[in-house]
């Protein structure tokens, strides 16, 4: 497993993390068992970054993560998110309390603002975040779906903490962050946490250079994860409920492509390696 520093912190997190959107949706014992096993397999393989949110399955996702890590809490780095309607001071504190309870932990490693909310002052939100850090309930502060301007505003609102990360959609199928957010994160040493890195499982094989999968014996999902994490600033959080998917994703960085091979993705399948 490859590990990277989270933002400017000294924290090492796995470049490939685990997403948990839609886990807990059906809430059956079988689904829960499968999800818990997949997450624990990921940890066994060296993945320590787990991403969830209070919004996912109305809190069931956080409960399943809590169940999966209850005896291995120190081995994992839990990132969760506060919903945009809960960004006023008191609501944010109460959201954090709810997440801590569902996760069965006394601290959240990375607490992220899930989406910006223009009706609530970012200063109030970041003051509440810093209060949680002072109380030891949160270790690092992040945002999600923030533009460059919104990220700058969040950073300016922080007085004694650095903003660690911005979680945004990034994959071969959606490269829009390359225009501004990715270069900004690289320059400012903020981790870009790439969500939906597998395009929700609809892997666009037309975008792979011919021969690369064969040369490195890699699956389309592995190519996508390897490609999306080529910048040092990026961490990716694919969601995998199936153990075989989890294992495939965990081994997607066993080799790194050459610069020209990464570049060849721009030309799609017609590019030969």
Active site members: 56
Nearer to ligand NAP, 2 or 135 (CB): 2
231 contributes a contact to ligand NAP by CB under 6 A? no
109 contributes a contact to ligand NAP by CB under 6 A? no
- Select the span of 5-13, 122-130, 158-166, 237-245 touching ligand NAP (CB under 6 A): 237-245
User: Quick one: which of 33, 97, 200, 215 contacts ligand NAP (CB under 6 A)?
Assistant: 200
170 contributes a contact to ligand NAP by CB under 6 A? no
Q: What span, in angstroms and rounded, lies between the C-alpha atoms of 121 and 191?
A: 23
The 8 Å CB, 24+ separation contacts for 95-101 are: 95/54, 96/132, 96/137, 96/138, 98/54, 98/59, 99/54, 99/62, 100/137
Touching ligand NAP, residues 67-86 (CB under 6 A): none
Nearer to ligand NAP, 4 or 270 (CB): 4
DSSP letters, 86-131, are G-SHHHHHHHHHHHHHHHT-S-EEEEEESS--TTS-HHHHHHHHHH
33 contributes a contact to ligand NAP by CB under 6 A? no
Is there a contact between 77 and 33 (Cβ–Cβ < 8 Å)?
A: no
User: Quick one: which of 103, 185, 192, 221 contacts ligand NAP (CB under 6 A)?
Assistant: 221
Q: Which residues bind ligand NAP (CB under 6 A)?
A: 19-21, 51, 114, 144-145, 167, 195-201, 221, 237-242, 245, 248-249
């Amino acid at each position: 497993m490859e590990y990277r520093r989270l933002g400017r912190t000294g924290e090492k997190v796995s470049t490939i993390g685990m997403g948990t959107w839609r886990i807990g949706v059906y809430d059956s014992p079988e689904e829960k068992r499968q999800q818990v096993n997949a997450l624990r397999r990921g940890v066994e393989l060296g993945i320590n970054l787990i991403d969830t949110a209070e919004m996912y399955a109305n809190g069931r996702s956080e409960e399943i993560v809590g169940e999966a890590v209850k005896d291995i809490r120190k081995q994992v780095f839990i990132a969760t998110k506060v919903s945009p309607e809960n960004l006023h001071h008191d609501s944010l504190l109460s959201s954090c309390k709810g997440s801590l309870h569902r996760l069965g932990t006394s601290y959240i490693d990375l607490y992220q603002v899930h989406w910006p909310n223009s009706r609530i002052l970012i200063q109030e939100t970041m003051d509440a975040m810093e209060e949680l850090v002072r109380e030891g309930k949160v270790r690092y502060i992040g945002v999600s779906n923030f533009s460059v301007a919104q990220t700058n505003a969040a950073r300016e609102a922080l007085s004694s903490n650095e903003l660690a990360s911005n979680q945004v959609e990034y994959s071969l199928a959606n490269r829009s962050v390359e225009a501004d957010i990715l270069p900004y994160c690289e320059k400012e040493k903020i981790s870009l946490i790439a969500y939906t890195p597998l395009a929700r499982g609809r892997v666009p094989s037309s975008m792979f250079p011919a021969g690369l999968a064969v040369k490195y014996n890699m699956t389309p999902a592995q190519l996508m994860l390897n490609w999306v994490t080529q910048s040092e600033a990026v961490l990716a959080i694919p969601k995998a409920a199936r153990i075989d998917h989890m294992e495939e994703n965990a081994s997607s960085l066993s080799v790194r492509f050459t610069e020209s091979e990464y570049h060849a993705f721009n030309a799609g399948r017609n590019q030969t390696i």
